[in-house]
Structure 1
Amino acid sequence: MQRPLNLHRVSLLIAKTGKAHSIGETLVKPAAKIMTEIMLGEKSSKEINKIPLSNDTVKKRITSMAENLKVQLVSQLQQSLYFSLKLDESTDIGNEANLSCFVKYIYCGEVHDEFLFCRPLPTNTTGEVLEEAVKIVNFIKGKALNTRLFTVLCKEMGSEHTKLLYHTEARWLTWGKVLSRLFELDFLLTSKEELDGDTTQAFKAHLQGLHSEIGKYFEEPDPSFEWIRNPFVTHKVDIEKVSVNLSSKEADNLVEIATSGTLKTLFRERSLANGWAQVQSEYPGLAEIALKHLIPFPTTYNCEIGFSTLVDHKTKKRNRINVDPDIRLKLSRLEPDIPTVVRQQKQYHSPH
């Protein structure tokens, strides 16, 4: 039993480094032979040749361990009262669209965030569509002859519009200057001078609408929920101010938390979300409100890490492999239950 366990651990190390599965035969085994020969002699080093570390063998072990991690994750998610998802899309080396998903949930009084999956998408990403649109516009507007032919074609088809305009926003997106251009033009929102021209007024109205839409995603913090960030307000006036949306029982519980030195130490030693998760059994009402505000992902950082890992795995030489098992083992904070994996494989291959 010990030998299969160790061989799975070697495959796990290969997955966590993000290297090709063939590295077991091309590097790990030769290096092990050299070290064994130095330490134990040539006879012992020959035993290394009996260790199965082929590309297919390593792949099977990685896949089985990744499946075990998935089972563990699903089991923990089923025990969580609520969870949040973070999804993002990107393209790999083969220009294939991929969807990455991470999940944040509560398990055993702790908040966890884990890799859920990375799957190829059957359709193009928004970025690909935008890129193709820019290429088409540039081709038509690039030469006067193409522009004239396009106008004739539109007229023959009875189109309402016969000319193409350069899409300024597409240009900004291509060069990654959306925010910088937005700040450059912010004076239009705050300027007290009268701006002439219908086009300028329409542009100003568009920026004002954009400003309003951004405000929906970056709202000012609601002071009535300040107790979530800092539950240790001690003044009666402050407690009354932040507990306006709480029931009388929840307000009393907040007073208990605020005056507890033990809980203050607990919150100081843990993250804010984990602090509330720890008191969930004792103060379920307050903890539920707090955790529903804290569980959502604040950034796409996890997905960016996932896409970086995807790019590392899908190179020009490995652009057709299913990378989901490798990425799961590399990114997951869970550890595969290798004894269970080995036991299941023995049961699968045992004669019936």
Structure 2
Amino acid sequence: MMKVCDQVCPEKKQAFSNVSLSRNTVAERTCDLATNLYDQLMEKGKDLVSFSLAVDESTDASDTAQLSVFIRGVDSNLCVTEELLGFKSMHGTTTGKEIFEEVCKCVTEIKLPWDKLVGLTTDGSPAMCGKKNGLVGRIREKMREENCAGELSVYHCIIHQESLCGKALKMEHVMTTVTQVVNFIRAKGLNHRQFKSFLDECGSEYADVPYHTEVRWLSRGKVLNRFFELREEICQFLQSKGKDTAELREQRFLCELAFLCDISSHLDALNLQLQGRGRIITDMYAAVRAFKTKLCLWENQMLQGNLGHFPCCQTIKTQISTAVCAQFAEKLSVLGAEFSRRFADFDVQKCRFELLSNPFAVDVENAPTNLQMELIELQCNDTLKSKYDAVGAAQFPQFIPDTMPQLRTQAAQLLSMFGSTYLCEQLFSLMKMTKTSHRRRLTDEHLRSILRVSSAQSLSPDIDELLASKKRCQVSGLGTSD
């Protein structure tokens, strides 16, 4: 910085030299920023009319279990706040009781009333989902003790569910073969270098084949598609190494590989739709419903031999017989049934979700009694209908008038719900980049502060207040006596 200052703005050299960059100063100021964000979140909590929690657990580089708790709250103006509520280091066991105690501390410390908790989304592990001793069961018991009138809506992360559905295809034998070949090419440096040189000599469109990593949602589809595109080059390279390529050239294996590539691409596209911050649970559910409908269409088309939505299969269409198409149609049917089974808890809320996604199309007679009068008034109001068409479902609740309090409350509850633990997964990625094998001595407090600042989205630290008004410049060696 000082060297740049000498060239760019030498008149500001003294101002730059006054900036303290000692490790203690940086650590303290990071903690101050995190504290400021937490204080703002506490202040926001006073105005929340409903909130939901997303809870997940992972381990860091020092094998310490880390519990992340995100809050999604909606205030009286129906504005959404989505922030990290707590990040707890658990040095012992991580049973349902211990997870509940930590989550309970997070809610209590920020002074949030339990009767405003409407939703809980977890990773689906037994410690989380146990109806008696898990986090879900204990929170429901806590809400009964607090005499909470509302019912807690519990969801298993929609992204995890979608990923698990893919296992119903039972095509691990294809993935195992692909993984073994990729590992042979990439595990040894010489093989990897020779393979890349081979692709370059062949004038291939691709320069390499990627690794498959089970914990990364999209790696499966990327590896399969690249493998399929390079199947001829891979066979030639393996033959040059004296490896048997008979299995890779079998018609059955090639057809299954093409089908798995295509369906994995479709699943990856759905996965991307479900990712991201600020996603409304009704939009996520709509994406899943659309995919289930697509599966029915693909199944019928596959039975007719129509491969229009399966580009990899189309490239080897002459090798795919009617019997093979029937087998693939059966797999699509199984996949559709798995989606219906895993998303049954979302299907139960379908009518409730429509109150947010399209309130003007809701059948009033089937709506809850306490909402029927307000729904009639809403659906007969042309001005509100125009506003809905203009701003969309996500922003429309803010324009529901105060004369419809029940609809506003219902909208607040739905807007506050998490559909996935995506934020927790994203935070764990930040954690692994922050607390590496070379930074294992990073304290729990400092790790928590770094992650709170780096994950902040709805809130931003008041820099002027923290670093200008309350901090005095301290320069090492300034004013010391001989």
Q: Which residue of 1 aligns with 2:461?
A: 336
What SS class does the counterpart of residue 272 from structure 1 fall into? coil
What SS class does the counterpart of residue 109 from structure 1 fall into? coil
Q: Which residue of 1 aligns with 2:406?
A: 285
CA distance in 2, matches of 1:251, 1:305: 40
Larger radius of gyration: 1
Find out whether 1:308 has 2:429 as its counterpart: yes
Deviation at 1:81, TM superposition (A): 1.6
| RMSD between aligned residues | 3.1
Structure 2 CA distance for partners of 1:309 and 1:265, relative to 1, 3 Å? farther
Native 8 Å contact 2:78 2:412 kept in 1:
no
Find out whether 1:246 has 2:369 as its counterpart: yes
Q: Which residue of 1 aligns with 2:170?
A: 184
Deviation at 1:62, TM superposition (A): 1.3
TM-score, normalised with respect to structure 1: 0.58
Native 8 Å contact 2:65 2:94 kept in 1:
yes
What SS class does the counterpart of residue 81 from structure 1 fall into? strand
Deviation at 1:64, TM superposition (A): 0.8
CA distance in 1, matches of 2:398, 2:430: 30
Deviation at 1:95, TM superposition (A): 1.5
Deviation at 1:277, TM superposition (A): 4.3
CA distance in 2, matches of 1:280, 1:113: 24
Structure 2 CA distance for partners of 1:224 and 1:101, relative to 1, 3 Å? closer
Structure 2 CA distance for partners of 1:335 and 1:96, relative to 1, 3 Å? same
Find out whether 1:93 has 2:214 as its counterpart: no
Native 8 Å contact 1:226 1:242 kept in 2:
no
AA paired with 2:405? P
Aligned equivalent of 1:232, options 355, 360, 371: 360
Native 8 Å contact 1:104 1:297 kept in 2:
yes
Deviation at 1:306, TM superposition (A): 0.8
Number of residues of Structure 1 aligned to a counterpart in Structure 2: 233
Deviation sequence 1:121-168 (CA, Å, 0-9, x none): 133458xxxxxxxxxxxxxxxxxxxxxxxxxxxxxxxxxxxxxxxxxx
Find out whether 1:64 has 2:189 as its counterpart: no
Alignment of 1:24-173 (within 5 A): 32-41=1-10, 44-45=12-13, 48-107=16-75, 108-124=77-93
CA distance in 1, matches of 2:435, 2:42: 26
AA paired with 1:325? S
Native 8 Å contact 1:224 1:241 kept in 2:
no
What SS class does the counterpart of residue 82 from structure 1 fall into? strand
Structure 2 CA distance for partners of 1:50 and 1:294, relative to 1, 3 Å? closer
AA paired with 2:369? L
Q: Which residue of 2 aligns with 1:139?
A: none
CA distance in 2, matches of 1:329, 1:224: 35
CA distance in 1, matches of 2:390, 2:59: 40
Deviation at 1:314, TM superposition (A): 0.6
CA distance in 2, matches of 1:317, 1:211: 42
Deviation sequence 1:55-111 (CA, Å, 0-9, x none): 111111111111011000011012112211111001111111100111011134312
CA distance in 2, matches of 1:86, 1:315: 25
Structure 2 CA distance for partners of 1:211 and 1:180, relative to 1, 3 Å? closer
Structure 2: segments with no counterpart, 5+ residues: 96-162, 172-337, 473-482
Structure 2 CA distance for partners of 1:339 and 1:49, relative to 1, 3 Å? closer
Aligned equivalent of 2:416, options 295, 303, 306: 295
What SS class does the counterpart of residue 93 from structure 1 fall into? coil
Deviation at 1:326, TM superposition (A): 1.3
CA distance in 2, matches of 1:92, 1:213: 33
CA distance in 1, matches of 2:424, 2:398: 24
TM-score, normalised with respect to structure 2: 0.43
Find out whether 1:217 has 2:345 as its counterpart: yes
Aligned equivalent of 1:260, options 373, 381, 387: 381
Structure 1: segments with no counterpart, 5+ residues: 1-31, 127-176, 186-209, 347-352
Deviation at 1:274, TM superposition (A): 4.0
Structure 2 CA distance for partners of 1:111 and 1:211, relative to 1, 3 Å? closer
Deviation at 1:335, TM superposition (A): 1.2
Q: Which residue of 2 aligns with 1:174?
A: none
What SS class does the counterpart of residue 396 from structure 2 fall into? helix
AA paired with 2:423? N
Structure 2 CA distance for partners of 1:278 and 1:315, relative to 1, 3 Å? farther
Structure 2 CA distance for partners of 1:273 and 1:211, relative to 1, 3 Å? closer
CA distance in 1, matches of 2:430, 2:465: 27
Deviation at 1:52, TM superposition (A): 0.8
Structure 2 CA distance for partners of 1:65 and 1:225, relative to 1, 3 Å? closer
Deviation at 1:291, TM superposition (A): 2.7
CA distance in 2, matches of 1:85, 1:97: 19
CA distance in 2, matches of 1:220, 1:261: 30
AA paired with 2:451? I
AA paired with 1:335? S
Deviation at 1:330, TM superposition (A): 1.2
The sequence identity of aligned pairs, in percent, is 26
Structure 2 CA distance for partners of 1:341 and 1:51, relative to 1, 3 Å? closer
AA paired with 2:462? D
What SS class does the counterpart of residue 86 from structure 2 fall into? strand
CA distance in 2, matches of 1:213, 1:320: 45
AA paired with 2:347? E
Native 8 Å contact 2:80 2:415 kept in 1:
no
Structure 2 CA distance for partners of 1:123 and 1:45, relative to 1, 3 Å? same
